[in-house]
Amino acid sequence: MKTAKRMSIKEMWHFILFQTKSFPSMKYIILFGSVSAAVVTYIDSFLYAKILDSLLAQAYSTATRWVIVLVLSVLLVQLLAAACNRIYQHGTYPAELNAKKRTAQKAFSMEYEEIERTETLQSFRRVRQGENGHGGIKYQLQLMYSYFTELAKVFFACGFVALLLLRSDFQKESIFVFVLSTALLAAAFAGVLWLGKKNFEKIGEKSLKMNLENERSNTLASYIVNFMMSEEWGQDIRLYQTQSYFVKKFRAIFEIAKGYIEYGRYNGKYNGAMSFVLQLLAGITYGYIVLKAMAGSVSTGQVLMYAGAIITMMDSIRNAMKYRIDIDYSNEYLKTYEEFINRPNMHYDGTLPIEKRIDNQYELSFRHVSFRYPDTEQYVLKDINLTFRVGEKLALVGKNGAGKTTLIKLLLRLYEPTEGQILLNGIDIGKYDYDEYVQIFSVVFQDFQLYHFPLDENIAGSENVDEEKLARVLKQVGLTERVEHMREGRHTLLYHEVGDGEALSGGEAQKVAIARALYKDAPFVILDEPTAALDPVAEAEIYENFNGLMGEKTAVYISHRMSSCKFCDNILVLEQGKIAEFGIHQELLDRQGRYYELYQAQAQHYL
C-alpha cells in the first residue's frame, strides 16, 4: 500500500497563496490567526505564574495588576484570533467556488476524446468527490490553518523549554544532576516524537487505504441510488424485476464497514499507546521541573507555567500529527485536482475566422480520411473521399458500427483524422477557429440530451429567447399545440430533476431536439437518426417538409429507414468504414448492391 505524498510546509504555503489569490490579505489572516490562537494559550500560563508568585510573596497589588493584564490581554488576543477566524471563513468560500469553477471550465475546455477516456472520467469523479467533501479546497485550507496554529504553539513551547533550560542556578543545582536530568528529558521527548511519527504514519496509511475504499463504494452507491430513483430506469427495473439484484449490489457496499472497524481498532490501540507515553512524558517533565524548583532555579508559579507550556506542547504535537494525516490524505485529492486542471486543453488552436457568407457557400470535403479511435488498433474509417456540396441533402446509411457517427464526429472536430484531411472551402478544418467553426453546424445527435430547464431555453440554448423564431421552429416540428397545452406554455420546466417539470415522450423530446437545431439556423445541418422516436405520422410530416425545413442548407441525415432516403439528393452507403456505394435512391436500387439489400431487408416487412 503506497502512502500519500507528503506535502512540505513550503508547498502548503504555496497552495494557500494560489487558492486565495482573489483575497490577497488571506495569507496574513492565516499567519496572524495561527500566531494569536497559539499565543493566547501561553499568555495564560505566563500570567498565572506571575499572579501566583505575587500572591505567594503577599504582593497583592502586583497580583491585582497581573490579573488586569491577564484579563485584558487574553480578551484582546482572543478577539483578534476570533476576528481572523471569521474573516478566514468568509474568504475561503470564494476560494472553494473558484476551484469548482475551474473544474467545470476545465471539463468544458478539454478535448472530447479526453472526456471519453475512463481515466479522465475517474479523475473527474474524484475531483468532484473531493470538492464536495473530504479534500475540498475549503476543508484543505482549514486543515492547514489548524496545522499552522499547532505548529505555532509548538514553536512557542520550545521557547519556554529553552527558557527552562537556561533557568539553572548552578550555585544551587548540581551540574551532574542538571546534565543527567536534561539528557533524560531530551531522550524522553525524542522517544515520544519518534513513536508518534511511526504511530501516525501507520494510522495515516490505514486511513488512506480505508478512505480510498470508501470512495470507491461511495461512487458505486451514488450510481445505484441515482438510477434506482431515475425516471428513465424506473420501468426497466420494475419489469425486469432487478430490484433485488441492485439491493444485493448495494449491500456489498457495507463491506466497507469492516474496514472502518479495523481502522477504529487500530487507531484506538495506537492512540491509547500514545496517550500512555505522553502521560509518562508529562510525569518525567513534572519531575524535572520539580527538581529545578527544589534546587531553587524556578519559582512555584513558574513550575505551573513550564508544566502548562510543556503539556500544551505535547498536545499540539499530537494534534499537528493528526492534521498532518488529514492533509496527506486530502492531498491525494489535490494531486488529482492538479493533474486534472493541468490536463491538456483542446489543441484546437486554429485561428482562421470563418467567412460569414449569406449565400451559405460552405463546402466540406473529406480527402483520403482514415481514422482509428485513440488507443485502438482497428481503423473505423478507411480512405474516405467525399464532398458535401452546398445545399445538398445527403443520406448516410449502413449497418450498426459501419462508422456513420464517427464520420460526423470527425466533421465536427470532436476527433482529428488519423490520416488524410477534412477541408472547408479548400482549407483544413483544423486551421479554423474552433468556436467559429462549430457555428456553421446544427446537429441532432442520436443520444441528444435535453436539459432539465425550461423548454424555450432548451431550444434557444440561452436565457435570451427570440420568441418569434421559437414560435416558428415549434410550428415547423409540429409542437405548437402540445406546447400551448403545457402548464406554463413555452416556459414550462422539463422533467423533474430540478423542480416540478413536465415529462416529454421520446418522440416529443426528439422534436424539441430538432427544433433546437432549426433555431440555431446554421448553414449545415446534421441529423443522426432524426426520426427514430417519432410516430409514423409525425415522421411522414417531418420528411414531407424536410426540404422545406432545410431550405438551402446543406444537410446530412443518418438514417436506418431506407424510405426516408428517397427525399435526399444523394445516398452514401458505408460498410466497415469504407464507402460501399454512392448515388440516388432509384439508381442504387437498380444497381441491386448493398443499398438494395438494406432496402429489401426493411421493405419485406411491409409487403
Report the interface residues with ligand ADP, using CB under 6 A.
116, 373, 376, 380, 398, 400-406
In angstroms, what is the minimal distance from the CB of 397 to ligand ADP? 9
For 605, phi then psi, to 5°, come to: -70, -20
How far is 407 from 443, CA to CA, in rounded Å?
13
Q: In whole angstroms, give the CA distance from residue 563 to residue 561.
A: 5
* Least Cβ distance, residue 323 to ligand ADP (angstroms): 43
CB of 565 to ligand ADP, least distance (A): 15
Residue 485, CA atoms < 13 Å, CB-side half-sphere: 5
How far, in Å, CA of 279 to CA of 296, rounded? 25
Report angle CA 273, 279, 284 to the nearest 5 degrees. 125
Q: SS in 3 state form for 130-189?
A: HHHCCCCHHHHHHHHHHHHHHHHHHHHHHHHHHHHHHCCCCCCCCHHHHHHHHHHHHHHH
Nearer to ligand ADP, 549 or 558 (CB): 558
CB of 21 to ligand ADP, least distance (A): 37
Name which of 406, 381, 419, 373 is nearest 114 in CA terms.
373
* Closer Cβ to ligand ADP, 264 or 374, answer by number: 374
Q: How far is CA 281 from the centre of its chain?
A: 45
Between residues 34 and 406, which has the closer beta carbon with respect to ligand ADP? 406
Q: Name the minimum Å distance from CB 559 to ligand ADP.
A: 11
Comparison of 48 and 379: residue with beta carbon closer to ligand ADP:
379
3-state secondary structure of 557: strand
Q: Which is nearer to ligand ADP, 404 or 585 (CB)?
A: 404
As given in the structure block, the three cell numbers for residue 170 are 548552578
Please say which residue, 150 or 529, places its beta carbon nearer to ligand ADP: 529
CB of 529 to ligand ADP, least distance (A): 9
Cβ 403 to ligand ADP shortest distance, Å: 5
Please say which residue, 376 or 604, places its beta carbon nearer to ligand ADP. Answer: 376
CA-to-CA dists, residue 379 to 370, 398, 528, angstroms:
7, 16, 21
Q: Which is nearer to ligand ADP, 118 or 342 (CB)?
A: 118
Instruction: Rank residues 373 and 453 by Cβ distance to ligand ADP and give the closer one.
Output: 373
CA distance 366 to 422: 5
Give the residue with the Cβ less far from ligand ADP, 288 or 415.
415
CB of 230 to ligand ADP, least distance (A): 24
Alpha carbons 301 and 305: distance in angstroms, whole number: 6
Residue 407, amino acid: L
Provide, rounded to whole angstroms, the least separation between the CB of residue 121 and ligand ADP: 12
- What nine digits make up the cell of 325? 494525516
Grouping H, G, I as helix, E, B as strand and the rest as coil, residue 443 is strand
Shortest Cβ 414–ligand ADP spacing (Å) = 10
Q: Phi then psi for 388, rounded to 5 degrees? A: -95, 105
3-class SS shares of the chain: helix, strand, coil, % to 5: 65, 10, 25
